[in-house]
């Protein structure tokens, strides 16, 4: 009953998100041959600043390999931002209110309020996991079709890094949903919080850099400190949400 309700409340958000991310990942993968050919025929512009010219040449070298292209154009840019939005959307809406708005119901059932919020959080985490991993594996699956290779293990590392990082925003949305009974305020405030983190946190320690797998791309090691802090923050927010629901006077 609890799991079914949580799934019904979020299924269309999850399905639409999954379809969109899969389509974008497929499009990004299959576009690589055209990008590679374009870059091969491209003439480097004359730049007076040698540092700028070196950075431009380095970015072009990334783009000429499928691994560098996939990371620079998808995993480090579009994917973390899109997944953050869907994490906020999945976590928004009170689990004790039908569809995130309207009259309260089901409070008389013989289950604790903690189980309500825990079930909702568990379903949302499972959906977020699929949204993070499935599009990441697209690059490994489609690479042979364009004559390239992309390790499935690398896809999983990028997907899991994005999942752990965005779990913080899912936790924030779940907590804010215990303060507001609608969907839009938790969603907008969570997105605003993500934007603030991206602006305030120094670039070298940015959560979005960890979500995008920058450390793994260059050194082969995920950004463990940032990812562990994100997981701890998500757990703390969901625990706080459980406590608030338990104490709330309906």
Q: Give me Rg for the CA atoms of the chain.
A: 20
Residues paired with residue 77 on neighbouring β-strands, in sequence order = none
Q: Is 97 helix (H, G, I), strand (E, B) or coil?
A: strand
- What spatial distance separates the first Cα and last Cα of the chain, rounded to whole Å? 21
CB 159 within 8 A of CB 133: yes
pLDDT (tens, 9 = 90+) of the chain, 250 residues, equals: 677 777 888 899 999 999 999 999 999 999 999 888 777 666 555 555 566 556 556 666 777 889 999 998 999 989 999 999 999 999 998 665 544 444 455 555 556 667 778 888 899 999 999 999 999 999 999 999 999 999 999 999 999 999 999 999 999 999 999 888 888 999 999 999 999 988 777 665 688 999 999 999 989 999 999 999 999 999 999 999 988 877 765 5
Burial of 35 (0-12, 13-18, 19+ CB in 10 A): middle
């Amino acid at each position: 009953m609890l799991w079914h309700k949580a799934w019904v409340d979020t299924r269309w958000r999850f399905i639409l998100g999954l379809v969109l991310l899969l389509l974008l990942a497929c499009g990004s993968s299959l576009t690589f041959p055209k990008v590679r050919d374009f870059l091969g025929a491209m003439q480097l512009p004359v730049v007076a600043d040698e540092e700028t010219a070196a950075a431009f040449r380095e970015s072009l070298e990334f783009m000429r390999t499928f691994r560098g292209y996939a990371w620079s154009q998808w995993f480090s840019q579009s994917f973390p931002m899109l997944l953050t939005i869907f994490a906020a959307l999945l976590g928004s809406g009170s689990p004790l209110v039908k569809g995130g708005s309207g009259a309260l119901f089901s409070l008389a059932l013989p289950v604790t309020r903690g189980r309500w919020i825990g079930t909702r959080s568990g379903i949302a985490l499972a959906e977020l996991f699929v949204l993070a991993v499935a599009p990441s594996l697209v690059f490994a699956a489609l690479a042979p079709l364009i004559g390239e290779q992309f390790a499935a293990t690398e896809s999983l590392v990028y997907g899991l890094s994005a999942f752990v990082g965005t779990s913080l925003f899912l936790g924030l949305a779940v907590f804010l949903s215990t303060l507001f009974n609608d969907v839009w305020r938790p969603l907008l405030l969570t997105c605003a919080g993500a934007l603030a983190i991206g602006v305030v946190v120094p670039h070298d320690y940015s959560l979005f850099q960890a979500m995008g797998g920058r450390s793994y791309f260059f050194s082969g090691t995920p950004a463990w400190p940032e990812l562990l802090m994100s997981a701890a923050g998500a757990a703390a927010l969901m625990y706080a949400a459980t406590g608030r629901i338990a104490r709330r006077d309906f």
